[in-house]
């Protein structure tokens, strides 16, 4: 239980919540939360579920030890390149695979698409356009995103990227958790 308690304390502090504020949000006493964080007592499954909901994590994430991610430098020419299984885009992985965040650099030539059909995954996604003009088809609605602009959305809705312009578009996608 020390791992769960430590994880819960880290999550609570990261949100800037006091024990009292978190207890009110979850519907338990501050004393119980303090005991859980110190590993003195075990919370019920329903309390764990409510805590996970408040912190926007899964119950399984509460069992993960607090681990610091390694510091890594990503260099051009050394990054893995991924081909979209459903489209014509090549993605260059900017971040290492760590299960928390994925950042990809993508280039779409005129007329290219990220996938033939929109698809969805359980993540939050942000696309930042470096050069050119990107069309983001999100849940059947086309959104134009120009160089210097970004679009952020719930990737749980069907989406894809298109280059309907006459110039190449370069963009960066951040997804959390990775798809």
- What CATH number is given to the structural domain containing 51? 1.10.260.40
Does residue 74 belong to any structural domain of this protein? no
Count of structural domains within the chain: 2
How far CA 169 is from CA of 109, 111, 125, 165, in Å, comes to 7, 10, 18, 8
- Statement to judge: residues 42 and 87 lie in one domain: no
Domain boundaries, position 154: 81-176
Do 27 and 108 lie in one domain? The reply is no
Residue 86 and residue 51 share a domain? no
**Same domain as 124, residue 38:** no
Q: Is residue 18 located within the same domain as residue 58?
A: yes
Do 57 and 115 fall within a single domain?
Answer: no
- End of a domain among 32, 63, 94? 63
Look at residue 141 and tell me if it is in a domain. Answer: yes
Tell me what the mean pLDDT of segment 2-21 comes to. 83
- Structural Rg of the chain based on CA atoms: 20
**Tens digit of each residue's pLDDT (9 = 90 or more) over 45-104:** 888 888 988 888 877 777 766 556 567 788 888 888 877 666 678 788 888 766 678 899
Which tokens sit at 73?
């430098």
pLDDT at 55: 85
Residue 174: per-residue pLDDT:
94
pLDDT at residue 1 greater than cutoff 60: no
Confirm whether 35 is domain-assigned: yes
Entry pTM: 0.62
Contact (CB, 8 A) for 15 and 70: no
16 shares a domain with 91:
no
Is residue 68, in this structure, part of any structural domain at all? no
User: Same domain for 172 and 89?
Assistant: yes
**Residues 139, 157 contacting (CB under 8 angstroms):** yes
Q: pLDDT tens digit string along 111-148?
A: 999 988 998 988 899 999 999 999 999 999 999 999 99
44 and 89 together in one domain:
no
- Are both 88 and 153 inside the same structural domain? yes
User: For position 140, which CATH number holds?
Assistant: 2.60.120.10
The H or E element that residue 147 is part of is: none
């Amino acid at each position: 239980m020390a791992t769960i308690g430590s994880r819960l304390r880290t999550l609570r502090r990261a949100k800037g919540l006091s024990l009292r504020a978190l207890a009110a949000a979850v519907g338990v006493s501050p004393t119980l939360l303090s005991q859980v964080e110190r590993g003195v007592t075990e919370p019920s499954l329903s309390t764990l579920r409510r805590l996970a909901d408040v912190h926007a994590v899964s119950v399984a994430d509460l069992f993960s030890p607090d681990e610091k991610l390694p510091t890594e430098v990503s260099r051009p020419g050394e990054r893995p390149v991924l081909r979209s299984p459903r489209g014509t885009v090549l993605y260059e992985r900017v971040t290492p695979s760590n299960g928390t965040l994925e950042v990809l650099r993508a280039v779409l030539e005129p007329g290219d698409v990220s996938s033939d059909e929109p698809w969805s995954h359980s993540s939050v996604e942000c696309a930042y356009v470096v050069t050119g003009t990107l069309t983001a088809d999100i849940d059947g609605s086309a959104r134009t995103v120009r160089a210097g602009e970004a679009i952020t959305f719930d990737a749980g809705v069907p989406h894809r990227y298109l280059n309907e312009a006459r110039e190449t578009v370069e963009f960066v996608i951040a997804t959390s958790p990775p798809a």
